[in-house]
Amino acid sequence: MHTPALAVTRTPLVAVYGTLKRGLRNHHWLEGASFLGADVLTSATLYDLGPYPAAKPETSRGIVVEVFEVSARLLADLDRLEDYRVRTPKHGDYERVIHTTAFGPAWLYLYNHAVAGCPVIREGAWQPR
């Protein structure tokens, strides 16, 4: 479900599932964000691409995400990191879509490319190698 109006009416929430999580290599991109807590989403499945995971909009038994409250500027920085293209979302590496979390509606970056042959994570969290 893609509902950008929700992000305009309040400070955006972002649900992260890979290298942006606390303690991992890209977490510094979330400096200044407020950590709200962890949640489990059944509306996405993860694929292990090696150096990072990719989420696809497929039902799972529950993938672990961390939810952060971010500023509009920080969200724009994350868009650049994830190659999310506002005007042509299907042409970047990721599309940003609202998913329901325990903390409210949050943006989740969904991978636009093929994941055939990649290990599937239908439950739990992605672990860096």
Catalytic residues, by residue number, are: 82
Q: Rounded distance, CA 39 to CA 48, Å?
A: 19
How many of the other CB atoms lie within 10 Å of CB of 11? 13
Q: Residues 86, 79: contact at Cβ < 8 Å?
A: yes
Pairing of the two strands 123-124 and 62-69: parallel
Instruction: Report the alpha-carbon distance of residue 125 to residue 115 in Å, rounded.
Output: 17
